[in-house]
Structure 1
């Protein structure tokens, strides 16, 4: 497999006045922009992009996965969210798995049908339109762009073609086969090859016509259950029909005059906020961007934040999470150096540490509504199970559950797992009598890279004055817990100096440098749209505080930002 992926070009940030979209696929961005131009708002365009990406990047997202949404109301300043994560089948219990000879030491294979949780994305799409949409376009009209891509076909982009091939190979190595709807004559499509998915087009049409019931009841629901049962799973029609989204009350923290908003548990948004709280204790700008001192502090802070998240975050219906006390913690450099967190991370599965198989995208419209949205099937195609004549694969999000009985994330029937996917918004720190002002919609996807990515690109703007595109272009750091070696490791992307890697090794860090080519996928793929150039210390912000939209799209993906 060709692993060469050079980064030899540059992009300017997209600047526009009326509306802007940013996603990991140009055709999906174009679909979202078209919805804005036809009178839809940010929520309408976000769902249109979600559906288009389900067609064009099925190795990362789709109707068989989950989604989270954060929405900023430009008129009221209110921020609300939707938790579109599904629950495990009611029959999936720890006792059942033990009875099938699985344990914490010998967990079930990641692609097993028992890891299918109820897909929450279709309900999240419907509820996003219902709660936040303009209601100027019907749901069918919102989905039309995706339907056309599936019916007529589209040329597969470079990074997506690589991921498609990779995950087909991973499934086959595990003795699994991806459903034929997502292959061409039994093979993954190549870069530039036109791919059609008429089965998915039909499913999207039915969803547009009948809403949630078209997915969670009837033909599609029965096809989902049939293939899961056929492969040893325990999901039932009742598990599907009883699913619904939950309104999410976002959580936030302050940092030097701004406020970062994240989805609440069962998502890992808490990890990003804890990380930002820790980083506020240090003179980051003086240390220098991606210097050895800066990265050392970031690594220690990530270890603390992820360990707290893994200790406390689970389904809030099953565990009480002390959010306020955790967010009020302030950490010192001494504590970061003294605490040994390895034991707390023993519960992290290898599956949780891998993969870059999610789509994040964002939209800001002319009314300055913003929609920050993320959608995923978890590990590539998830389980690779494709319900008959449906055109999508089923996620394996249940692989995130723990089989340790005392874990807050222990598997149980009807429970949502610790969830990695998180969208984010940034506002100013308004007083109680003021309406908060939107500063940015942003996100970086990729398993446990996500909270790390959120904070790195945010600090690139806040501390180092980078514009949104520069903030995404800059080399990143990914801190992970290596289960095989029972220690933390630090992955440094190409562009970070060799002398920095050497200095970190002298401090005792296990360093992987340089990470190049397609392996850069571990650092995530992000999108950012800002209102105004507040990140530029030399700009006269009073001249154009929020009129101009600035946007960037990650060079590690195939996508782009577009505006008008």
Structure 2
């Protein structure tokens, strides 16, 4: 009888504590504890890049110096998601002025390429690969704009660690090795020039696997030129000439004039208040305000009475996403070319109006009527209170397949995200910035910094941002648990590239969402599915103003690492 009692007791204790993953804290979703530090914090998607950023901070650099150094390292160490052939966006909390600043460092389309060219070629959409989707790479100018406004150390010192790793090599991580050994052969099979020369021949004639040493001397030389010659070397010097002549030879249109005329833009971040917290994003051409629109709809529900991961939670979230993404398809574009109705889209009144459309079953929506005309994310904080939320990407993983000779990087294919349908907000025009998926985020509380965060991953990003905000504010999770909690996404619906809504789409869930939830959602008319590797990459830093301590968290689904001191 006693043996039977102890058996029942053990079963009871297992059921009670199995959800906590044997963690004594009881944080059921956390894969590890939050990282803590008083003087600085770096959270990136690669441990070596995090160490580089931390070294810069310890050697007297500030958050912006460290962010640029880590981003340069990621362009080498994670070429499957980012690099100086891509674009950059950032939100900076300046510890001196106690103010937020936004930087849009995205590039524009070639001025010699017109919509008529695509019509003549009978193209219904811009190709994903090759020279046509290549727009001006904005990252390098973004670095120098950030450095000019906030930086302290010389760029020669900031870029030195990445140059050293590019020349001497470093071991490839499991995830990046998998992506590279999938992507590089794909581009090589298409016959694109300089693929083998850049990624294989510099590594003893083979593409390294996990744990093997990867080098990129071409990129080291390019970084050295940028460190010495500044942004002018990239946009007007030998690098610009190499890029332009290569793209022209491939049948593309990007010119030295396009590169020489490029400039980043300092913009005012925009926000909505969610239960006393101000959540900040950048205005279009990015999609950050989709997260804000979702929060405006969702704040009308009392989530203190709704369980995380329940059918009601996922249903309300998904319907809010559908509504926001219909507006995204119609209104989000380069604001130099289209009068995006920001004020109306983010107003409480409009959020309430859209919320009324949500019923008990899966809905199909259209955009509201308004009167109006694969990526890396990282964040750094320093002892002076400055925090930077930075995202940078090539798009479609490695990018367009266009690798200029002996430069060591691939150019982005962001131009694919234009629409070729006349009369839309995001319709292709020369010198226009395409709709962008990459978005950094920030949260303030009572005018003070709270969380610098981001979740990369294409269309998932506004959904990921919204999930993180709700996990922190509605469900009381700590910074690491908020990122480790199971995620879901909704696919389908209209897009700024011209796709129309044809059905209610599909919800894809991670394994942590219970089957009981899935069954109820199916009963509400939702199509359900699963997917792997689509749920983004999270990094975050929280400022504890009471104890004057930084909290750091990183993505458990990738190679991420947060470290402080």
User: Structure 1-normalised TM-score?
Assistant: 0.89
Query: Which residue is equivalent to 1:5?
Result: none
The answer as to 2:379 corresponding to 1:362 is: yes
The answer as to 2:197 corresponding to 1:154 is: no
Q: 1:104-123 maps to which residues of 2 (within 5 A)?
A: 107-123=125-141
Query: Which residue is equivalent to 1:22?
Result: 43
The answer as to 2:142 corresponding to 1:130 is: no
Distance 1:174 1:181, change over 3 A: closer
Shift of 1:10: 2.3
Query: Which residue is equivalent to 1:37?
Result: 58
Shift of 1:188: 3.6
Distance 1:327 1:382, change over 3 A: same
SS at 2:490 equivalent:
strand
Query: Which residue is equivalent to 2:327?
Result: 308
In 2, Cα distance between equivalents of 1:374 and 1:266? 14
Is the contact between residue 179 and residue 385 of structure 1 (CA under 8 Å) also seen in structure 2?
A: no
In 1, Cα distance between equivalents of 2:519 and 2:336? 46
In 2, Cα distance between equivalents of 1:147 and 1:77? 34
In 2, Cα distance between equivalents of 1:81 and 1:153? 34
Shift of 1:232: 1.2
Query: Which residue is equivalent to 1:413?
Result: 430
**Match among 429, 441, 457 for residue 446 of structure 1:** 457
User: Structure 2-normalised TM-score?
Assistant: 0.88
In 2, Cα distance between equivalents of 1:399 and 1:174? 18
In 2, Cα distance between equivalents of 1:320 and 1:9? 43
Is the contact between residue 319 and residue 362 of structure 2 (CA under 8 Å) also seen in structure 1?
A: no
**Match among 72, 94, 119 for residue 115 of structure 2:** 94
Query: Which residue is equivalent to 1:549?
Result: 550
Is the contact between residue 307 and residue 341 of structure 1 (CA under 8 Å) also seen in structure 2?
A: no
Is the contact between residue 319 and residue 363 of structure 2 (CA under 8 Å) also seen in structure 1?
A: no
The answer as to 2:315 corresponding to 1:299 is: no
The answer as to 2:553 corresponding to 1:531 is: no
User: What per-residue deviation string (whole Å, max 9, x for no partner) do you get for residues 389-441 of structure 1?
Assistant: 10000000000000111210001100001111110111014xxxxxx200010
The answer as to 2:211 corresponding to 1:192 is: yes
Q: 1:281-296 maps to which residues of 2 (within 5 A)?
A: 281-296=300-315
Is the contact between residue 92 and residue 411 of structure 1 (CA under 8 Å) also seen in structure 2?
A: no
SS at 2:176 equivalent:
helix
- RMSD of Structure 2 on Structure 1 (CA): 2.1
SS at 2:351 equivalent:
coil
Give the total of aligned pairs: 520
Q: 1:481-492 maps to which residues of 2 (within 5 A)?
A: 481=492, 486-487=502-503, 488-492=505-509
Shift of 1:108: 3.5
Query: Which residue is equivalent to 1:522?
Result: 534
Looking at CA atoms only, which structure, 1 or 2, has the larger radius of gyration? Answer: 2
Q: 1:344-363 maps to which residues of 2 (within 5 A)?
A: 357-363=374-380
Shift of 1:486: 3.7
In 2, Cα distance between equivalents of 1:358 and 1:101? 31
Query: Which residue is equivalent to 2:16?
Result: none
Distance 1:176 1:284, change over 3 A: farther
Shift of 1:167: 2.3
Is the contact between residue 287 and residue 436 of structure 2 (CA under 8 Å) also seen in structure 1?
A: yes
The answer as to 2:358 corresponding to 1:336 is: yes
Distance 1:404 1:88, change over 3 A: same
For structure 1, the 5+ residue unaligned runs are 1-7, 346-356, 430-435, 533-543
Distance 1:283 1:27, change over 3 A: same
Distance 1:170 1:491, change over 3 A: farther
In 2, Cα distance between equivalents of 1:298 and 1:400? 25
In 2, Cα distance between equivalents of 1:316 and 1:147? 37
For structure 2, the 5+ residue unaligned runs are 1-28, 369-373, 494-498
Query: Which residue is equivalent to 2:282?
Result: 263
In 2, Cα distance between equivalents of 1:306 and 1:367? 38
In 1, Cα distance between equivalents of 2:511 and 2:318? 17
Is the contact between residue 179 and residue 384 of structure 1 (CA under 8 Å) also seen in structure 2?
A: no
In 2, Cα distance between equivalents of 1:185 and 1:311? 50
